[in-house]
Chain A
């Protein structure tokens, strides 16, 4: 893989100026894409124009755009007073030469002052190469520095500073890290990067008491908010796969608050077949899903003795817990868990005991001579009504479906789920907590089997 600077030197071998420009721009386009997979690049077809940028970079997720200018050298930037003329729109100015006729000119040193207070990023090809270098030991922190460099980088970043930024360890003294990051990143990028550093430090044995601090208090506690897809994609696999990461519930609850179950499903490919139990356990009452299904475990179905057991893990986009012969699956998507044809409907009599732990909103019963649906508009329990009806009419009643209702914490509205026996699936179209879905599947759907310990340990 030739480096960016090598490609630029070779570009100079072209006879025609047009070919040179094409070669330089392709090299940069490839480099930009390798640093930041979310950016869209528009080629303006201009090169080194005094006013029109070479590229316009756009980030769809934030709607931000940033002009990207190629310049012959730092001296040219100085001579053309680019820092003053181009300051609006916080441009990226890239010198093709790291330094041309000697060390950085005195004029450029004076312009460092201007740079300190602006959001312009002034850098060079060698520095960009240093930031974007592929590292085998990818730390989420250095990857975040790389991916935020173009969108959030600011100030003067020459090769030496770039190399430092690109290899910054998260364990670096918090103040030093903060200073280094804030000097060369916009405040929103700096906060994101700082948050990842905090997460990494907490994960590896930092003081978790800061997590219980009120964010409004002077000490502030840990940085919260919402983790973006980009950050999740970098941090979560690291958290779930790295050695030495804590399994403390407080830590994982903190993480789960910054994301949703849908976010986790989106990055399922990155964490396939990895133990996600600490996260799921911490989020069991707050995250919601829409489908639960009990099927056969891979050991039972294929004799796959390597398969993970006793832990939550993703197989494809479906969250799965396998134990013995059974597999519990949770999903957001009805298309992933259709259930299966199951001819054995339970008798009402047999469900009475398992239903004790639930609030039943309604049910559909099928007898030999007649069918009955019982439901309640309010949250009242219909079990007594059902008992009376089944006792009064002489028939054998099998349960097709049971609708359950669950209380939510605080003022949130109650959630519902339907256990559908002939498809062997629990369905909640509006969503209910992972815990509720699991409980419904294990205790109602799977009442015949002994499924203790499948999913979450049974509450006493």
Chain B
């Protein structure tokens, strides 16, 4: 059974992040954990996890994207945030490792971590690195067995780490993003969906 929808970001937080990312015109995020938990659930070596948003790029190879958002208002919950981030990285790797077991060329999705506040400032500059991912996997494997007995494959690790993006969302961006009317006009000109059959 998928986990309960994350309470932390809330429906409005999820909606705000979705709107912000879709306003870039490069991304479409049709599914969220509240309305479509089944399409927002990923399966890893030791279970599954529910992410906030699922969608894909509209350009290039149209790769899938999973988005996890975090918003905290007290120092207490901030402390938790880094360990949640580590779990996020470990899950990303474990999902790829599970797929690699079944198919030699799994398509590795992109993983966006969107936070309202930066955190763990001493490691902030290296959050997307392979090193960060490795140490996170080790920590989460020790506590939750995320590798389920497997060892880390360095090549796979680098591939997955390359697809991690950490973003900071400022709610003021809502007023700095194109309006729906503008986006409709723009989308008819830049035609991101033109290649869809």
When A44-B193, A79-B15, A86-B180 are in contact, do A49 and B28 touch as well, CB less than 8 Å? yes
A7 at the interface (CB under 8 A from B): no
Q: Scan residues 60-78 of chain A and give those whose CB is less than 8 A from a CB of chain B.
A: 67, 72-73, 75-76, 78
Q: A52 at interface (Cβ–Cβ under 8 A)?
A: yes
Contact with B along A94-120 (1 / 0, CB 8 A): 001100100000000000000000000
* Interfacial chain B residues near A86, Cβ < 8 Å: 180
Closest to A89 in B: B181
Does residue A389 face the partner (Cβ distance < 8 Å to B)?
A: no
Bound-state Cα–Cα, A21 to B181, Å: 24
Asked if B30 and A45 make an inter-chain contact with CB atoms under 8 angstroms apart, the answer reads no
From A17, A47, A51, A100, contact of B184 by CB (8 A): A51
Q: Is there contact, CB below 8 Å, between B35 and A49?
A: no
Map CB proximity to A onto B53-97 as digits: 1 under 8 Å, 0 otherwise: 010000000000000000000000000000000000000000000
When the two chains form their complex, are residues B12 and A79 in contact, meaning their CB atoms are under 8 A apart?
yes
Q: Is the CB of A52 within 8 A of B39?
A: no
The answer on a CB contact under 8 Å between B193 and A45 is yes
Question: Which residue of chain B lies nearest to A54 when distances are taken between CB atoms in the complex?
Answer: B30
Which one of B11, B18, B23, B193 has the greatest number of beta carbons of chain A within 10 Å? B11
A85 x B179 contact (CB < 8 A): yes
Contact of A52 with B183 in the complex, beta carbons under 8 Å: yes
Contact partners of A47 in chain B: CB under 8 A: 28, 30
Closest residue of A by beta carbon distance from B32? A72
In the complex, which residues of chain B have a beta carbon less than 8 angstroms from the beta carbon of A85? 19, 179-180
Closest chain B CB from A200 CB (angstroms): 40
Whether B19 and A46, one on each chain, are in contact in the complex, defined by CB atoms closer than 8 angstroms, is no
Contact of A72 among B12, B28, B36, B181 (CB under 8 A): B36
Min CB gap A107→B, angstroms: 9
A81 to B35, CA, bound (A): 16
Contact of A51 among B11, B22, B32, B196 (CB under 8 A): B22
A48 at the interface (CB under 8 A from B): yes
Known contacts being A49-B28, A75-B11, is A97 close to B184, with CB within 8 Å? no
Point out the residue from A50, A53, A75, A88 that lies within 8 Å of B18, measured CB to CB: A50
Give the complex CA separation of A100 and B33 in angstroms.
13
A258 at interface, CB cutoff 8 A: no
> Which residue of chain B has the shortest Cβ distance to A77 in the bound complex?
B15
Asked if A20 and B39 sit within 8 Å, CB to CB, the answer is yes
Residue in B35, B38, B180 whose CB lies within 8 Å of A76: B35
Are B180 and A79 neighbours in the complex by a CB distance under 8 Å?
A: no
B129 interface residue per 8 A CB criterion: no
23 pairs across A/B with beta carbons < 8 Å? A12-B38, A17-B31, A17-B39, A17-B54, A21-B30, A48-B31, A51-B179, A51-B183, A51-B184, A53-B184, A72-B32, A72-B34, A72-B35, A72-B36, A76-B11, A78-B11, A79-B14, A80-B15, A80-B18, A85-B180, A88-B180, A96-B35, A97-B35
Q: Which residues of A contact B (CB under 8 A)?
A: 12, 17, 20-21, 44-53, 67, 72-73, 75-76, 78-81, 85-86, 88-89, 96-97, 100
The interface of chain B, by Cβ under 8 A from chain A, is 10-12, 14-15, 18-19, 22-23, 28, 30-32, 34-36, 38-39, 54, 178-181, 183-184, 187, 193, 196
